[in-house]
Amino acid sequence: MKELVEAIRARGKGVGTEIVKVDMFLNHRLDTDLFVKMGRAFADAFAGEQPDLVLTVEASGIAAALTTAIAFGNVPVVFAKKSRTRNVTGDVYESSVFSFTHGVENHIRVAKEYLPANSKVLIIDDFLANGEAAEGLCNIVKQADAQVLGIGVCVEKSFQPGHEKLAKDGYKVVALAKVTGIQDGNLVVED
């Protein structure tokens, strides 16, 4: 997606050799115009596969999941929670996910009542790195006997194996922008 590629080139930074920092428009300050366009781009990419709900993981996936759900005609967004709070009690689907950015194991949870069996689920997240978050969400969908229509990510880091792993498992993966490398703090972004 042209606007996202341009934003990453103009306002993104590389941290070390693996971290893409896009706080200016995607992860801390949110460029709302860009988020609306990303939502539409996901709806176009998955056209013909109307989801019953969009699933993501808190917190950084929620904004893109929301604009995608709106672009699909205001379907609900369900986000997996990372911490065991009093808000999520009783019957939950759970999966363990290793966080690439924080270096810790998270348990992500979705209350069973929000993920009905047989529902068609589109998974959306901000980044795809090693595929842990997406795999954890797919695992939760499987536990619910629901169906993954596909996985959409705003930014894929193509130098990490997430896309390949998910594609091998048979999932349709759509990335709106692909960062192919980081050189001296500069991001290399595919056209």
Burial class (CB within 10 angstroms; exposed 0-12, middle 13-18, buried 19+) of 172:
middle
Smallest separation (angstroms) from ligand 5GP to the CB of 172: 16
Is 63 or 71 the residue whose CB approaches ligand 5GP more closely? 63
Smallest separation (angstroms) from ligand 5GP to the CB of 70: 20
**Interface positions with ligand 5GP (CB under 6 A):** 19-20, 27, 60-61, 100-101, 125-133, 157, 162
**166 to each of 59, 113, 134, 138, 151, how far by Cα in Å?**
22, 26, 8, 10, 9
Is 31 or 125 the residue whose CB approaches ligand 5GP more closely? 125
| In the block, residue with structure tokens 């801390």 | 28
* CA distance linking residue 29 with residue 125, whole number of Å: 16
Smallest separation (angstroms) from ligand 5GP to the CB of 74: 24
* CA distance linking residue 75 with residue 53, whole number of Å: 6
Is 116 or 168 the residue whose CB approaches ligand 5GP more closely? 168
Smallest separation (angstroms) from ligand 5GP to the CB of 156: 9
